[in-house]
Amino acid sequence: MKRSRVITTALVFALGAGVVAFAPLPGASVKPANRRFRVEASSFKYAPATIKANVGDHVTIDLVSTDVVHGLYVDGYDVSVTADPGRTASLSFVANRAGMFRLRCSVTCGAMHPFMLGKLHVGRNDLLWRALALALLAGLVGVSLAPMRGVRT
Amino acid sequence: MRAEWGARLLVVLGAVGLAVLTVFAVRVPADAVELRGRMADDGGWTPGAIMARVGEPLTLRMTSDDVVHGFAIGQSARPAVDLLPGAWITTTVTFDQPGKYTYYCTRWCGPNHWRMRGTIDVAGPGMRAPADSVPLFLRLKLDLDQAHPSDVVPTETPAAARADGLLAAVALESGDLRTQSPVQVWRTLRKRPANTGLTDRQLWDEVAAVWRAATSPERLAEGRRLYGDNCAACHGETGRGDGVMAKSLAAGPAANSMVGEHTGMPGMSGHGTVAPTDFTNRRNMLGASAAFLQGKIIRGGMGTGMPYWGPIFTESQLWALVDYLWTFQFDYGSSAGSSAASRTKRDSASKPATRPH
């Protein structure tokens, strides 16, 4: 009897986990917009370091270098731009891939150049929310099964 | 025993082979001059002076030790070469006239970028061609440090398109335009009895038309390119004196000086800095003549942080640059093609991406 209850609980939670991990979320149907960001690059940081867009947005980044020649490369999109001080350079692309992507400096700009990073967030961070929900579910499994094990011993 | 001798022979052959390979692998032109670029604060060019002889090719093997730099020789048509950290690039220059040449950094590498200059002394037979004619500001004996406010200023940007241009010919008759400030020409036009029917604003539009007639779209494009490469970092892309380096210049005297801070008397050392000139300021600009502006560019600011460009730009480049500066005052219309208002930004999205490394 108890054994079958454990199996039932496990099955229910497994199903729940499947739903949490793979169920299509109601997409926030936002109309694609034109987004323009002005990003100032100095040794060795971007300001702002984080930019956000919705999936489908037409993103334009105006890169302004304030000391030496800097670049900006967007991981995942494979686009880049280089800006000299005094010459604002623009980078345009359609943010059609959801997720978090690294911005990196693409021009060697000094000793700390490899650590000149930024972030591009496209859309809602589904992965994070799903992971959180799964963790919660795992916790519930633990709580609901633990007393039964206690009974058995 | 024979095996041992064979092994010894193998070792000796290996060592000799390695030595020979090394010599071939790192073969560099024997007479190449190794030139390293560093930010001016860290030493600039090494070496800072190079000797050469007329007619003999000078091979330069160059690299950068920190950030992206560029190499070009002043007053020469030779295109600039980019120096990337970690990469060597070799170029050969041949001089056909003796003299002193300036090489300089062409990519902005910090507030002291312009200090990154060196000289090539070219010795040899022959006369140096007569130097470019004495600059106009010297022939006119202009005092470049004198204030030059315009006592009359228009209330809006004068537009060449609004003028009928009939007065342009008249104004041109009154002598070399480059020696006159816009306000002087405006006064000349104002004094003519024939113009009493025209308003002040209409006359300013005529002045804009006069100035537009004295340049060409090609020269404006050239001036715009030079301005973007050399001036915009301080004077701003829109000419307002608000470029990305302006903050550090306005920070006060000796903020960026390499000498002033040690003397403790920045004002006396001539190494202080002031905020870059705002080219959209009507009172200031309309009172200046082209010869005056050219003089400022050639000589530099003397204690303001403005570099001297005399050894860098050719005469025609200087005039093209001055021509472009007037677009911050006058609206030349779209026909001029390169007015400051109609500037477009470089869009590099279509270029292949440069991966970070």
| Same domain (yes/no): A39, A88 | yes
C-alpha–C-alpha distance, residues A74 and A118, integer Å: 9
C-alpha–C-alpha distance, residues A86 and A145, integer Å: 65
| Same domain (yes/no): B222, B335 | yes
| Same domain (yes/no): B232, B98 | no
| Same domain (yes/no): A59, A106 | yes
| Same domain (yes/no): A109, A70 | yes
| Same domain (yes/no): A138, A86 | no
Domain count, chain B: 2
Report pLDDT digits (tens) over B70-104.
999 998 888 999 999 989 999 999 998 888 999 99
* Residue from the list B85, B347, B355 with its beta carbon closest to the beta carbon of A106: B355
pLDDT at res. B341: 40
* Residue that terminates a domain, selected from B99, B123, B147: B123
C-alpha–C-alpha distance, residues A41 and A66, integer Å: 6
pTM: 0.79
Strand order in the sheet with B58-64: B45-46, B33-37, B58-64, B89-93
pLDDT at res. B326: 94
Beta bridge partners of A53: A122
In a domain, B260, yes or no: no
- Look at A92 and B353 and tell me if their CB atoms are within 8 Å: no
C-alpha–C-alpha distance, residues B274 and B271, integer Å: 10
CATH number at residue B98: 2.60.40.420
| Same domain (yes/no): A10, A66 | no
**What is the average pLDDT value for chain A, to the nearest integer?**
87
| Same domain (yes/no): B178, B288 | yes
Question: Is beta strand B346-347 parallel, antiparallel or unpaired with respect to A58-65?
Answer: unpaired
In a domain, B184, yes or no: yes
| Same domain (yes/no): A20, A39 | no
DSSP letter at B79 equals P
How many CB atoms are closer than 10 A to CB A142?
A: 9
C-alpha–C-alpha distance, residues B292 and B145, integer Å: 10
pLDDT at res. A127: 79
Which of A40, A78, A84, A109 to mutate to probe the B interface, most B CBs <10 Å? A84
Is B185 in contact with B150 (CB distance < 8 Å)?
no
State both tokens at B248. Answer: 């550090």
| Same domain (yes/no): B310, B176 | yes
In a domain, B220, yes or no: yes
- Look at A81 and B349 and tell me if their CB atoms are within 8 Å: yes
Q: Work out the burial of residue B300: count CB atoms within 10 Å of its CB; fewer than 13 is exposed, 13-18 middle, 19 or more buried.
A: middle
pLDDT reading at B252 higher than 60: no
DSSP letter at B130 equals P
Report pLDDT digits (tens) over B19-67.
887 776 666 666 789 999 999 988 899 999 999 999 899 999 999 999 9
* Residue from the list A73, A79, A110 with its beta carbon closest to the beta carbon of B66: A110
- Look at A86 and B229 and tell me if their CB atoms are within 8 Å: yes
In a domain, B253, yes or no: no
| Same domain (yes/no): B289, B330 | yes
| Same domain (yes/no): B329, B222 | yes
In a domain, B68, yes or no: yes
| Same domain (yes/no): B68, B198 | no
Per-residue pLDDT, averaged over A37-49, amounts to 93
| Same domain (yes/no): A98, A146 | no
Is B181 in contact with B283 (CB distance < 8 Å)?
no
| Same domain (yes/no): A87, A142 | no
CATH number at residue B280: 1.10.760.10
Q: Which domain holds residue A14?
A: 2-25+129-152
| Same domain (yes/no): B224, B80 | no
Only one residue has tokens 């000498």, namely: B259
Contacts of B44 (CB under 8 A, 6+ apart): B37, B38, B115, B116, B117, B118
Beta bridge partners of A70: A83
| Same domain (yes/no): B181, B304 | yes
Domain count, chain A: 2
How many CB atoms are closer than 10 A to CB B243?
A: 21
| Same domain (yes/no): A136, A88 | no
Phi first, then psi, for residue B45 (nearest 5°) are -80, 140
* Residue from the list B232, B237, B353 with its beta carbon closest to the beta carbon of A80: B353
The percentage of residues in chain B with a pLDDT greater than 70, rounded to a whole number, is 80
Q: Which domain holds residue B45?
A: 33-123
DSSP letter at A120 equals E
Is A38 in contact with A62 (CB distance < 8 Å)?
yes
Buried (b) or exposed (e) across B24-58, using 16+ Cβ within 10 A? eeeeeeeebeebbbbbbeeebbeeeebebebeeeb
Share in percent of chain A as helix, strand, coil (round to 5) = 35, 35, 30
Q: Work out the burial of residue A60: count CB atoms within 10 Å of its CB; fewer than 13 is exposed, 13-18 middle, 19 or more buried.
A: middle
| Same domain (yes/no): B138, B119 | no
| Same domain (yes/no): B286, B222 | yes
Is B266 in contact with B272 (CB distance < 8 Å)?
yes
Per-residue pLDDT, averaged over A84-100, amounts to 92
Chain B residues with CB inside 8 Å of A106's CB?
Answer: 353-357
Strand order in the sheet with B346-347: A45-47, A34-42, A58-65, A89-94, B346-347
pLDDT reading at A125 higher than 70: yes
**Which ipTM was obtained for this model?**
0.74
In a domain, B18, yes or no: no
| Same domain (yes/no): A12, A47 | no
- Look at B356 and A71 and tell me if their CB atoms are within 8 Å: yes
B349 touches chain A (CB under 8 A): yes
In a domain, B174, yes or no: yes
Closest CA of chain A from B86, distance in Å: 9
In a domain, B6, yes or no: no
| Same domain (yes/no): B171, B306 | yes
* Residue that terminates a domain, selected from B92, B123, B154: B123
| Same domain (yes/no): A39, A112 | yes
Q: How confident is the model at residue B163 (pLDDT cuts 50, 70, 90)?
A: confident
C-alpha–C-alpha distance, residues B222 and B94, integer Å: 26
Report pLDDT digits (tens) over B299-355.
988 878 899 999 999 999 999 999 999 999 999 886 544 444 434 333 333 445 666
Closest CA of chain A from B243, distance in Å: 6
- Look at A108 and B355 and tell me if their CB atoms are within 8 Å: no
Q: Name the interface residues of A facing B (CB cutoff 8 Å).
A: 40, 62, 64-69, 71, 73, 78-82, 84-93, 104-111, 114
| Same domain (yes/no): A139, A87 | no
